[in-house]
Chain A
Amino acid sequence: DQQVKQNSPSLSVQEGRISILNCDYTNSMFDYFLWYKKYPAEGPTFLISISSIKDKNEDGRFTVFLNKSAKHLSLHIVPSQPGDSAVYFCAATAGTYKYIFGTGTRLKVLA
């Protein structure tokens, strides 16, 4: 049972435009959500997180939105840059030590 889903395996965006990556979850007990960026043959790098008590968190070009009623979160990257091309994973945790990861979305930013 996939508790965290990233339904778009890939996304292409023009440089300078907005990239929107989506993530859906099924477990209403999740209370902390994270986004990671991963390049091939490297470990994931933490990007941004959000607690379930908030609905938005911003850090520079990155904004995460959380819609608890829809069990949906999204990552917005504005403006998109070629260096943003990578695989993006969302993850969730329910206040325990265990994290559940989505299958990832490959973002390609076209110059």
Chain B
Amino acid sequence: DGGITQSPKYLFRKEGQNVTLSCEQNLNHDAMYWYRQDPGQGLRLIYYSQIVNDFQKGDIAEGYSVSREKKESFPLTVTSAQKNPTAFYLCASRARPQETQYFGPGTRLLVL
């Protein structure tokens, strides 16, 4: 059945290490998104992609990178430049503007 999958569910990062969070969707949606949620806060946009091979920075892109080589996949790399990476990361996708955005189950990133 259709949906958005994120892996892993939990991820541990050591100091100075880059880590990659996976996001896959089989909804045939054009647009994909990455958000970060911190305790007691809303969802903040990191990056989004409207089509394959194109992506735009969101409000908090520093320390993160993405790629969109396939329509179904939008991985997020948390680089060592991100000084406060501990958060809950959510991937989402949407077919067209003015349509509903659907979310994956999330990945919790923790720093060792």
Interface residues of A (CB under 8 A from B): 4, 9, 31-32, 34, 36, 41-46, 49, 51, 89, 91, 93, 95-99, 101-104
Which of B64-72, B76-84, B100-108 lies at the interface with chain A?
A: B100-108
Q: Is the CB of B90 within 8 A of A43?
A: yes
- Note all chain A residues with C-beta closer than 8 A to B42: 4, 89, 101-104
- Note all chain B residues with C-beta closer than 8 A to A44: 43, 90, 103
Instruction: Contacts A89-B42, A104-B42 given; indicate if A97 touches B94 (C-beta within 8 A).
Output: yes
State how many angstroms separate the Cβ of A53 from the closest Cβ of chain B. 11
* Top 6 A-B residue pairs of the complex, sorted by shortest distance between their CB atoms: A43-B103, A103-B42, A101-B43, A101-B42, A32-B98, A44-B103
Bound form: Cα–Cα A43–B6 in Å: 10
Q: Is the CB of B31 within 8 A of A97?
A: yes
Instruction: Contacts A89-B43, A98-B45 given; indicate if A41 touches B101 (C-beta within 8 A).
Output: no
- Note all chain A residues with C-beta closer than 8 A to B41: 103
State how many angstroms separate the Cβ of B82 from the closest Cβ of chain A. 21
- Note all chain B residues with C-beta closer than 8 A to A97: 31, 48, 50, 94, 97
List the A residue with the shortest CB-CB distance to B48.
Answer: A97
Bound form: Cα–Cα A99–B99 in Å: 11
Instruction: Contacts A89-B43, A102-B42, A104-B42 given; indicate if A41 touches B94 (C-beta within 8 A).
Output: no
Bound form: Cα–Cα A90–B97 in Å: 17
Instruction: Contacts A41-B106, A43-B106 given; indicate if A99 touches B88 (C-beta within 8 A).
Output: no
State how many angstroms separate the Cβ of B94 from the closest Cβ of chain A. 7
- Note all chain B residues with C-beta closer than 8 A to A99: 33, 45, 101
Residues of chain B from 41 to 96 with CB closer than 8 A to chain A in the complex: 41-43, 45, 48, 50, 58, 88, 90, 92, 94
